Structure formats: C-alpha cells, structure tokens
Chain A
Amino acid sequence: MSDQTHMPAGHDLAPGDEEQHSVGERVLGYVVGLGLALILTATSFFIAGTDLVWQPSIPVALIVLAIAQMGVHLVFFLHITTGPDNTNNVLALAFGLLVVFLVVGGTVWIMSHLNQNMPPMDDFIRMHS
C-alpha cells in the first residue's frame, strides 16, 4: 500500500471494474458464473424435495449451497478477486460481513435473553387474578 500512488483521474478503476480483458474472456467469465449459479440453484431445489439424502442434513446442505451461491455472485458478477486494485472491495465486504454478523448475531442473542429478568408470565397472571 505504501508506494502505490493514486492518480485522481486516468488510471483509477471504479469499484467492480477490472483491467482490460478481451470481450471473449469477459463473456466466458459471465457464462461460467451463470452456469455455476444455475447448478447451485437447481441443486438447492432438488435437495429440498428429495428423500435420497439423510433428512436432517437438508437444512445444513441448503445453508452451504446458499453461501456457495453468494460466493459465485461475488466472484463472477461483482468481481471480488484477489487482484491488487481489489483491496478496497475485499475490505468493504469484510467490514459489511462483520457488521451484519454483529447486528444479526447480537439481535438474536439479545432478543432471546429479553425475558430473563421477567417473572414467568403464568405466575404473573396468577398473581393478579
């Protein structure tokens, strides 16, 4: 990062842009992405309805497939790669994931704890009747 110079105009890339690739290469990238996304989608629908696999594993399998789907979208469509100009995008994604994890995880934890200091509702109703 230290001797990377940032010109205000000219060579800088907008988020999601990549270095020049030929049209063919880029189309190929999108086609591969579309193919993978379709396969993952089809598999999800298949798994949800099938009895070929051990039933309790289905929710886990769906979560894994969903995360893989996100990965495919990020790499092939949003162009999150390990390239040198992608540091910002990767860091932004990491920050976003951290915030989502903190807020969603925190919310689930807090909301499940909320009634801890309350007397059980049954006692409460009995007390007042």
Chain B
Amino acid sequence: MQAVPTLEALMLGKLDWSAIPFDQPIPLIAGGVVLVAILAVLIWVVVKGHLPYLWHEWITSVDHKRIGVMYILLASVMLLRGGSDAIMMRIQQAIAYQSQGYLPPEHYNQIFSAHGTIMIFFVAMPFVIGLMNLVVPLQLGVRDVAFPTLNSVGFWLTATGALLVNLSLVIGEFARTGWLAFPPLSELSYSPGVGVDYYAWSLQISGVGTLVAGINLVTTVLKLRTKGMNYLRMPMFCWTTLASNLLIVAAFPILTATLAMLLLDRYLGFHFFTNEAGGNVMMFMNLIWAWGHPEVYILVLPAFGIFSEVVSTFSGKALFGYRSMVLATMAICVISFMVWLHHFFTMGAGPDVNAIFGIASMIIAVPTGVKIYNWLFTMYGGRIRFATPMLWAVGFMVTFIIGGLTGVLVAVPPADFMLHNSMFLVAHFHNVIIGGVLFGAFAGFEYWFPKAFGFRLDERWGKLAFWFTFTGFWITFVPLYAAGMLGMTRRLQHYNVAEWRPWMIVAAIGMAVLSIGVICQIMQLVVSIRNREALRDRTGDPWDGRSLEWATSSPPPVFNFAFHPDVRGEDAYWDMKIAAQQQSLEHDVPEYQDIEMPRNSPTGFVCAFFATIMGFALIWHIWWMVILGGIGAFATFVVFAWRDHDEYVIPAAEVAAIDRVNLEERRSLVSMAGAI
C-alpha cells in the first residue's frame, strides 16, 4: 500500500533542515559571506535611493548595450566564483600527496563539477554573448537587435541558471559528477541527492536563455543591416557572431533534449541512460558531445572575431585576407559538427569510426591556421600599437597555437588512448579555452570598454594584469601537461605518486600568479573609475577604429545613430574618416528626424523570477510551487503579448541636441588630423 504523503512532504517536497550544510564550514562560510555581501549591496541600493534608477535604466531595459553590459557583469562575478573553485582545487592537489588534503572527497567532487559548469555556462557564454550584444548592432549600424524584449528575457533566464547553481552552495549540494554529468553516475541510483537536479535544471533554464539569444543575434545579422552593409562588408566580428549563433541555434536543442532525457530517467523512472532495462549510457556520451563540440566553437569563434578587430585596429591596417577569413569561419562552423566522437575515442568504436573522426578533428585545424596566418599578415608591415587589447591578442596567438597543437596531438586516436582523461587533456583544453576564449573576452573588454562607458581603462594596470595572467597561465598549465605525461589522471582528490608532487606544487604557485593578474584586473577597474574624467573619451573613437561602432559617441545614445550610416566598403568608418579629411569639411546642419525606440519591459525579469521559483521547486519536488511558477511565467508572456504600446518616440529636437555635441568633437578631431 502506498503511504499517504505527510503535509510537510506536500508543502516542502524533499526540502528540510538537513539541506543546509551545517557540518561543512567552507561552503557555509562562503555562502554566508556572499549572502551578507548581497544583502549589504541591496540595502545600500535601497537606502541611497538607487532602486528606481536600477529598475528603469537596467533591470527592465531592452537596450542591447545595457543588456550586453549586464551579461558581462554576470560573467565577471561568476568568473570570480569559478576562479575560487580553481584555487581550491590547485591547493588541494598540491597538498593531498599521501594524505586527504583539506577537502573531503564529496566536497572536492562538487568543486570540480561546479568549476567546469560555471566557467563554461556562466562565464564564457555570458561573456561572449554580452560582447556580441553590445557590439554587433553598433557594427551593423542599426539601433537595436531584432527582438529587444526577447533579448532581455534571454539574459534574465541565464541569470536564473547562475543563481540556482550558486544556491546549491548553501541549500543542498551540487553535482559530484563532473561538468557533463555522465550517466550512470548521474542516474538516481548513484546520485540520489539533489546535486544533479541543480545541475540539470539550471542548465535547462539558462539553455533556453542562450537559445533565445542565439535566435536573436542570427536574425539581427541576417535582417538588420544599415544601408550598403552587405554581407561581404560586415566587420569580421559580425561574421563570427553569425557563425557562432548559427551553432547555438543548431546545437543547444541537442543539449536540452539530452538533459530532458536524463531528467525523465531521474524523475519518472525512464531508462534512457540507465544500465538496466535497455538503457544505453553511450547514447548520452554521443548526444552530449554532439552539443559539446560545437559549443567549443560557439565560444571561440566570437573570440576569433574580437582578435580580428583588435589586430586590424592596432596594426592600422585592413584585415589581411578578409574573404579567406569569412570562408574559414564558415568552414569551422560546419566542420565543428563533424568531430564530436573525438571526445570518446576510447569507448569502443571501431577503427573506421575513430579514423574518420580523428581526421576530421585534424582538418578543423586548417581553417584555424588560415586565421592565425591572416592575423600575422595583418600585423606584418603595420604600425603596431601595443595597447592592452593588442597585448591580449598577441598573447592569444602564442598560447592558442600551442593549445591547438596539443589538440591535434590528441586528435590522433592512438595518442588519445594514452592521454584520455589525463591531466594532459586538462592542460590542453585550458590552453585553448583560457588562451582563446578568456584572452579574447579580456581583449574585447579592454577594447570596447570606452565605447560602453565613455572612458578608457587604465593602461598601466591593464598591462600588469596581462603579464601576470599570461605568465601565471603558463606556470599553472605546463606542469599539468607534464603530470599528464607521467600518467596522472584528472579529478584526483589525492594521490600517492611522488613524481607528480613537484608539478602540482608548481601549478599551485602558477595559480597564485594568475590570481595576482585577476587582482590587477579589478584594480584596473577601480583606478579607471576614479580617474574617469582624465580618461574620458569625448570623440567616441579612442583607438582610431575602423568599424561603425566608433562612428557614434561613447557611450552611444540610446538610439545608437542619429542617421543610419551609409556604408560604401569594408572598414566603413575608416573610409568615412579618410573621405572627411580629403574633402573640405561641410558644416551644414543635418535634417534630424523623430526616432522610434522600443519601450522598456519588465517581462524578462518577471519571467526569470517565476523560472527561478519553478526551477527551485522542481529540484526539491515541491509540486504546487512548480505549478505556481509555470502559471506565473505563462501569465507574464500573455500580458506581454497583449501589450498596446511597445514603442516611444524621441523627438527630432532631442536627437539633434544629443547628436550635435558628438558631431562637434568629431569634426574638431578630423580637422586636427587634416591639419597634420
């Protein structure tokens, strides 16, 4: 006979006081400190009366620039969280030789799982999506993305996912299964706790947000371009954005479907990936990597775009081999869907399959090589300025080539049989993800910060940050290559092999240097905000840029451009500057017109609020709350769909007043350059 559920079980599901880890001081203290910090910030905001400003200007904003900035802020905060996990792991492996270290196994397992999940989904993804959001409409010369409110929904759903992952620190636990939650370990019989549910639901919710952002950016690039901006005049970053978001649209549904099957196994007793009843564990590996490999290129393609912009701007030359770059980007976009088996060469497939996927994996290095040579030839003969973004770009080229080469090495199936799941692999993918994506994100951050906020970042601290991060990176990860060659496998909580010990100690020292880099980055932000008047960018073109985002003021007005720019070639803004210098300057007053812009909407925030409730309730089996959250989210959508006024008008006089200030600054700059 089935037991009648108690009232407590009905109201609270699996949730009770045992969910709070009173016996584990580290997560409890960390969680407590974060909670106090958040509360302090909230109280400060309310007391100082900033709440209306935050609500009207940021939380409900549908402006692509604001949403981009919020994405990057989310990524930066989560980078600190994921970074602390990394520091804890490095310290653990440095001291856990023939001892248990300071982290018990179940806690260590949560840390490496959370580190991977956070760094990929809540650092790398929001950082690149944020940069694309901020820059792409400006580069295309348009006023917003294709679906502004949807954009806000996408951001807030991503934030919901991040919130749920961090909630697991204090209420319950996180997955102990690694960042991809492989079954059968992630099935109910081996992971009965809520950790995997936290993992899966936060990725399901933020995955919806990512898919929405992808659809939005694809549509923006394909459908919204200014006059004359045909495909082969788009800046390289727009091309890589297109490729990356096409991959998002194609790949993220695979992740959603795979995790949905895992959740069906866990919640409703299905047998997709169980050991018994005809389930097949290998199907999960196959499906998750069919998403997972394109994901790598979703992250790195926008970084390639950023480097293309940075290298060309700071070399003072047009990008070398623009068309080959476009071709290479689209080739990577397609081939990235043909290599996923190289993540599980060792799992039983025959030589035919392994050979074909191995060769495909090596082939993808060819278009990447084309890109590297194009950047080198762009620099060749150029007048290179080593500003901070350029330092990141050069550091990237050196680092990424080595990471790419070790990648080609593990693409050889026999070599992979030796190196699979070793520290060598860990070193390889950090080599490409840090060296490629993170360096790219930092380059983009330094490069476009003046555009977003109207003042440049302090160069001295920026350069210090680069050098500490760069050297710290190498000191941390070269030892991991060495340890991998000595046979050390990944995810070890402790070990008894004496030869590995020195390498782990060196890696921990490297981590300390890397942390100094992060501190320098924070210092750079603090110092720059304090000196913002001295660092002010009045012209909107602090780097002598080449593409259209530099053709408007910094920060750009809400409508981006008073007039849609008329594009006549590649490097649109560069051509305009040359033309302005050659012709005598016309001081006629342009005819300004009214501009219609989308109104702010709390839809995204409210939707995400209900999604958070629903996600939390699903994790803890609180079914009434699931229904409540679902109804709330649907009602929000209905209210939004039936709204009457979705746009407001900025009168021509106001547009003129805003635009004239910047026009004067820009004209004085051009006439100065003309005089020289």
- Cβ contact within 8 Å between A110 and B353: yes
- Cβ contact within 8 Å between A111 and B227: no
Which A residues from 74 to 129 make CB contacts under 8 A with B?
88, 95-96, 98-99, 102-103, 106-107, 109-111, 113-118
Contact pick for A111, options B219, B286, B337, B350, CB 8 Å: B286
- Cβ contact within 8 Å between A88 and B230: no
- Cβ contact within 8 Å between A114 and B222: no
The complex places the Cα of A99 from the Cα of B337 at a distance, in Å, of 7
Contact pick for A5, options B222, B228, B286, CB 8 Å: B228
Q: Which residues of B contact A110 (CB under 8 A)?
A: 286, 341, 349, 353
The complex places the Cα of A117 from the Cα of B349 at a distance, in Å, of 6
At the interface, yes or no: B428 with Cβ under 8 Å from chain A?
Answer: no
Interface 0/1 of A1-27, CB less than 8 Å to B: 111111110001011000000000000
Nearest to B291 among chain A residues (CB) is: A103
Contact pick for B350, options A3, A5, A106, A116, CB 8 Å: A116
The complex places the Cα of A6 from the Cα of B564 at a distance, in Å, of 11
- Cβ contact within 8 Å between A8 and B226: yes
Which B residues from 124 to 158 make CB contacts under 8 A with A?
142-143
The complex places the Cα of A5 from the Cα of B143 at a distance, in Å, of 17
Which of B250, B283, B347, B351 has the most A CB atoms < 10 Å from its CB? B250
- Cβ contact within 8 Å between A111 and B352: no
- Cβ contact within 8 Å between A107 and B224: no
The complex places the Cα of A109 from the Cα of B349 at a distance, in Å, of 10
Q: Which residues of A contact B219 (CB under 8 A)?
A: 15
Cβ distance A112 to chain B, nearest Cβ, rounded Å: 9
Q: Which residues of B contact A3 (CB under 8 A)?
A: 230
Cβ distance B457 to chain A, nearest Cβ, rounded Å: 31
Q: Which residues of B contact A15 (CB under 8 A)?
A: 219, 223
The complex places the Cα of A37 from the Cα of B359 at a distance, in Å, of 43
Known: A102-B338, A113-B353. A95 touches B348 (CB 8 A): no
Cβ distance A117 to chain B, nearest Cβ, rounded Å: 5
Q: Which residues of A contact B341 (CB under 8 A)?
A: 106, 110
Cβ distance B232 to chain A, nearest Cβ, rounded Å: 7
Contact pick for B337, options A5, A7, A88, A103, CB 8 Å: A103
Known: A5-B228, A8-B142, A96-B250. A113 touches B352 (CB 8 A): yes
Known: A8-B143, A107-B286, A107-B287. A117 touches B231 (CB 8 A): no
- Cβ contact within 8 Å between B229 and A6: yes
- Cβ contact within 8 Å between B254 and A103: yes
Chain B binding surface, main DSSP class: helix
- Cβ contact within 8 Å between A114 and B282: yes
At the interface, yes or no: B400 with Cβ under 8 Å from chain A?
Answer: no
Cβ distance A116 to chain B, nearest Cβ, rounded Å: 3
Which B residues from 331 to 355 make CB contacts under 8 A with A?
334, 337-338, 340-341, 347-353
Q: Which residues of B contact A4 (CB under 8 A)?
A: 230
At the interface, yes or no: B391 with Cβ under 8 Å from chain A?
Answer: no
Nearest to B566 among chain A residues (CB) is: A5
Interface 0/1 of B204-247, CB less than 8 Å to A: 00000000000000010011111111111000000000000010
The complex places the Cα of A88 from the Cα of B143 at a distance, in Å, of 22
- Cβ contact within 8 Å between A103 and B349: no
At the interface, yes or no: B290 with Cβ under 8 Å from chain A?
Answer: yes
Q: Which residues of B contact A6 (CB under 8 A)?
A: 223-227, 229-230
Nearest to B294 among chain A residues (CB) is: A99
Which A residues from 47 to 83 make CB contacts under 8 A with B?
none
- Cβ contact within 8 Å between B225 and A2: no
Interface extent on A, as a size class? 20 to 34
Cβ distance A77 to chain B, nearest Cβ, rounded Å: 20
- Cβ contact within 8 Å between B337 and A102: yes
Q: Which residues of A contact B353 (CB under 8 A)?
A: 109-110, 113, 116
- Cβ contact within 8 Å between A113 and B350: yes
- Cβ contact within 8 Å between B338 and A111: no
At the interface, yes or no: B76 with Cβ under 8 Å from chain A?
Answer: no
At the interface, yes or no: B581 with Cβ under 8 Å from chain A?
Answer: no
Contact pick for B250, options A1, A95, A111, A118, CB 8 Å: A95
The complex places the Cα of A6 from the Cα of B249 at a distance, in Å, of 23
Cβ distance A108 to chain B, nearest Cβ, rounded Å: 10
Q: Which residues of A contact B222 (CB under 8 A)?
A: 88
Contact pick for A8, options B224, B230, B338, B348, CB 8 Å: B224
Contact pick for A113, options B287, B337, B349, CB 8 Å: B349
At the interface, yes or no: B191 with Cβ under 8 Å from chain A?
Answer: no
Q: Which residues of A contact B406 (CB under 8 A)?
A: none
Nearest to A118 among chain B residues (CB) is: B348
The complex places the Cα of A67 from the Cα of B45 at a distance, in Å, of 59
Nearest to A7 among chain B residues (CB) is: B227
- Cβ contact within 8 Å between A1 and B231: yes
Q: Which residues of B contact A113 (CB under 8 A)?
A: 348-350, 352-353
Cβ distance B258 to chain A, nearest Cβ, rounded Å: 11
Q: Which residues of B contact A12 (CB under 8 A)?
A: 223-224
- Cβ contact within 8 Å between B347 and A114: yes
Q: Which residues of A contact B283 (CB under 8 A)?
A: 107, 111
Q: Which residues of B contact A99 (CB under 8 A)?
A: 250, 337
Which of A7, A99, A110, A114 has the most B CB atoms < 10 Å from its CB? A110
At the interface, yes or no: B280 with Cβ under 8 Å from chain A?
Answer: yes
The complex places the Cα of A104 from the Cα of B44 at a distance, in Å, of 54
- Cβ contact within 8 Å between B338 and A106: yes
Which of A8, A15, A96, A116 has the most B CB atoms < 10 Å from its CB? A8
The complex places the Cα of A89 from the Cα of B523 at a distance, in Å, of 48
- Cβ contact within 8 Å between B348 and A114: yes
Cβ distance B597 to chain A, nearest Cβ, rounded Å: 12
- Cβ contact within 8 Å between B290 and A106: yes
Nearest to A6 among chain B residues (CB) is: B225
Listed A/B pairs (18) with beta-carbon separation below 8 Å: A1-B230, A3-B230, A5-B230, A6-B226, A8-B225, A14-B223, A95-B250, A98-B334, A98-B337, A99-B337, A103-B337, A106-B340, A107-B286, A107-B290, A113-B353, A114-B347, A115-B348, A116-B350
> What is the interface of chain A, defined by CB distance below 8 A to chain B?
1-8, 12, 14-15, 88, 95-96, 98-99, 102-103, 106-107, 109-111, 113-118
Known: A114-B347, A116-B353, A117-B348. 9 other contacts (CB 8 A): A6-B225, A6-B227, A103-B290, A106-B340, A107-B283, A109-B353, A110-B286, A111-B280, A116-B349
